[in-house]
């Protein structure tokens, strides 16, 4: 631990329980303005240092003794009761309005806890519009800007806007020193590490994890949730998959709280890497059956189980089973774009897969893991279209992604692409390990229709006879019959009319 961190977190400094003790002592005095003034200055310290039920009782006593509803104490009491917050709050020490972001913050938090990610994001935009700027040297708002940064980052993370989430967490990490509230910086580091471990760069995840671990643990009731996040990240970064699974299985889901979608990603990835598909399905069934607050098809809470189930089914070569799950996922999420493209590859539609990746929003391409998956889809699609130059260009771009390209990164590309890269791309790492779960989902399995077979299907749908189709394709009737048997087998049908209907259902023709 470096000396700077040790000094900031010295036990000689004022702690959360000091703030609670001082506040309760102020509440025992007359007039109540003494307690209200104290709460104005140390609201966050009292909030995080108190047991919520006890704090509600203390604030309720102040309200019964005449505390104004539009005071900060009144607003926190209303929040604890689930009542609407007054839109303009005033401090007891100054005449000016304070905490202009309080009302939209309360709405953001309530929406988030109810799984209404879109509404929470809209309230977050209001907070940003009203927010007072952070002072670059001194904390003049009692840690409020630090708290807002962490909460805005959490909202963006659940909504799937990962670059924005990382920006908010970076703001928290750069906040002027607030020694008693350093646990909020610890939370920001832990959540940034979880985000990077799931969708980004493992190297950055380790960096953020180290930052979180050198910040001394406080007595706040929020600390077990941060501990659980750190445990999940440590398990994801552990190369021993069986040890990682045992470690992750020991994490109590209740402590993970609203970060449960990322716990689902993490644990499912460890199981998929081990090839434990049955266990993965049991986990997803368990999560799907739980009454987590979520809006179906919105953000990570409303989409992640569907996306993971679709990924599992695609890895098992069952694109038909994956389709309804992808239809139920948020279409704005980068993960949805990726899995739709993988589905297209499974359905013999490499051109559609290419288009989906080209249409993917720019902000969804920035995280390193997402970028690797995107390059894996692009390379597989180009290779299936015999576009070797384009495939080579994609793989060369993958080698230039931020950070060192490793053999583990190469596992995100299917076997055919890696075989091509080994001979065609300078600097491609030698890999002996099998392809990873995502690459297995993109791999050719013998059930993908070729471009020529799709052309034949289109001619079948036009009503042409076999003789006419053979003549159009410049092939013999026997060759056409062989192609049709292959088409029927891949579409799992036995006759012409069923083949046409199935091809239309898949969007092939």
Residues 6 or more apart in contact with residue 99 via CB below 8 angstroms: 72, 75, 89, 144
Q: Which of 401, 422, 442 is the last residue of a domain?
A: 442
CATH number at residue 494: 1.10.10.10
| 394 and 489 fall within a common domain | no
Indicate the helix (H) or strand (E) that contains 281. Answer: helix 277-289
Same domain? 427 vs 339: yes
Q: Is residue 413 part of a domain?
A: yes
Residue that has been written with the tokens 């990603």 in this structure:
265
Burial track 93-119 (b if 16+ CB lie within 10 A, e otherwise) = eeeeebbbbbbbbbbbbbbbeebbbeb
Does 54 map to a domain? Answer: no
Give yes or no: residues 393 and 477 share one domain: no
The per-residue pLDDT for 7 is 35
Please name the residue that has the structure tokens 């139920």: 328
In this structure, the answer to whether residues 341 and 431 fall within a common structural domain is yes
Of 442, 461, 484, which closes a domain? 442
- Are 433 and 342 in the same domain? yes
Nearest-5° angle of CA 238, CA 244, CA 249?
A: 150
Domain assignment of residue 399, yes or no? yes
Q: Is 80 exceeded by the pLDDT of residue 408?
A: yes
Q: What is the pLDDT of residues 96-119, one digit of tens each?
A: 556 788 888 888 998 998 899 999
Residues 437 and 417 both lie in one domain: yes
* 62 phi/psi in degrees, rounded to 5: -65, -40
pLDDT value for 195: 97
Tell whether 400 and 458 lie within a shared domain. Answer: no
Q: How far apart are CA 370 and CA 201, in angstroms?
A: 9
396 lies in the same domain as 477: no
In a domain, 367, yes or no: yes
Residue 172 lies in a domain: no
User: Domain for residue 56, yes or no?
Assistant: no
Same domain membership, residue 419 and residue 347 = yes
Give residue 474's domain range: 451-506
Q: What is the mean pLDDT of residues 444-472?
A: 81
Secondary structure of 128-160 in the HEC alphabet? HHHCCCCCCCCCCCCCHHHHHHHHHHHHHHHHC
- Looking at the fold, whether 424 and 462 belong to one and the same domain comes out as no
What does pTM read for this prediction?
A: 0.84
- Give the single-character DSSP code of 179: G
Tens-place pLDDT, residues 285-311: 999 998 889 999 999 999 999 999 999
pLDDT tens digit string along 221-243?
A: 999 999 999 999 999 999 888 88
Domain end marker among 442, 464, 481: 442
> Residue 458: inside a domain, yes or no?
yes
Which of 283 and 489 is assigned the larger pLDDT?
283
* Burial (Cβ within 10 Å: 0-12, 13-18, ≥19) of residue 485: exposed
pLDDT at 489 (0 to 100)? 82
Domain annotation covers residue 372: yes
Where b means 16+ CB within 10 Å and e means fewer, 332-353 reads bbbbbbbbbbbbbbbbbbbebb
Tally of domains in the chain: 2
pLDDT of residue 455: 86
| CA–CA gap between residue 102 and residue 108 (Å, rounded) | 10
């Amino acid at each position: 631990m470096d000396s700077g961190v040790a000094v900031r977190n010295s036990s000689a400094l004022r702690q959360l329980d000091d703030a609670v003790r001082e506040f309760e002592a102020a509440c025992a005095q007359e007039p109540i303005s003494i307690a209200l003034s104290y709460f104005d200055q140390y609201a966050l310290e009292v909030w995080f240092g108190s047991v919520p039920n006890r704090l509600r009782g203390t604030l309720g006593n102040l309200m019964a003794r005449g505390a104004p509803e539009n005071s900060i104490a009144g607003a926190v009491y209303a929040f604890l009761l689930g009542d609407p917050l007054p839109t303009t709050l005033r401090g007891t020490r100054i005449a000016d309005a304070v905490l202009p972001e309080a009302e939209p913050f309360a709405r953001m938090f309530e929406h988030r806890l109810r799984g209404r990610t879109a509404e929470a994001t809209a309230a977050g935009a209001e907070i940003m519009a009203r927010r007072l700027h952070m002072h670059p040297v001194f904390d003049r708002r009692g840690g409020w800007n630090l708290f807002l940064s962490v909460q805005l980052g959490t909202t963006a993370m659940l909504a799937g806007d990962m670059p924005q989430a990382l920006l908010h967490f970076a703001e928290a990490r750069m906040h002027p020193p607030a020694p008693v509230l350093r646990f909020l910086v610890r939370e920001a580091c832990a959540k940034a590490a979880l985000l990077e471990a799931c969708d980004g760069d493992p190297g950055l995840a380790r960096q953020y994890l180290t930052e979180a671990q050198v910040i001394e643990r406080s007595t706040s009731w929020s600390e077990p949730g941060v501990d659980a996040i750190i445990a999940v990240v440590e398990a994801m970064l552990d190369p021993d998959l069986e040890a990682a699974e045992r470690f992750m299985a020991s994490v109590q889901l209740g402590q993970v709280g609203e970060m449960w979608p990322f716990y689902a990603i993490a644990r499912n990835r460890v199981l998929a890497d081990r090839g434990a598909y049955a266990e993965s399905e049991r986990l997803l069934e368990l999560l799907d059956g739980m009454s987590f607050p979520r809006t179906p098809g919105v953000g990570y809470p409303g989409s992640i189980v569907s996306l993971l189930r679709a990924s599992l089914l695609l890895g098992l070569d069952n694109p038909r089973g994956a389709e309804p799950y992808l239809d139920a996922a948020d279409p704005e999420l980068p993960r949805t774009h990726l899995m739709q493209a993988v589905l297209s590859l499974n359905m013999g539609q490499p051109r559609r897969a290419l288009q989906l990746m080209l249409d993917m929003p720019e902000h969804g391409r920035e995280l390193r893991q997402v970028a690797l998956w995107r390059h894996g889809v692009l390379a597989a699609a180009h290779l299936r279209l015999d576009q070797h130059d384009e495939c080579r260009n994609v793989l060369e771009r993958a080698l230039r992604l931020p950070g060192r390209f490793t053999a583990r990164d190469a596992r995100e590309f299917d076997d055919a692409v890696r075989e091509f890269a080994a001979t065609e791309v300078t600097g491609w790492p030698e890999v002996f390990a099998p392809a990873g779960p995502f690459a297995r989902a993109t791999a050719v399995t013998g059930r993908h229709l070729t471009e020529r077979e799709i052309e034949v299907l289109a001619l079948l749908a036009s009503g042409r006879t076999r003789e006419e189709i053979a003549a159009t394709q410049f092939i013999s009737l026997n060759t056409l019959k062989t192609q049709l048997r292959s088409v029927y087998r891949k579409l799992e049908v036995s006759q012409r009319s069923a083949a046409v209907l199935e091809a239309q259902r898949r969007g092939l023709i």
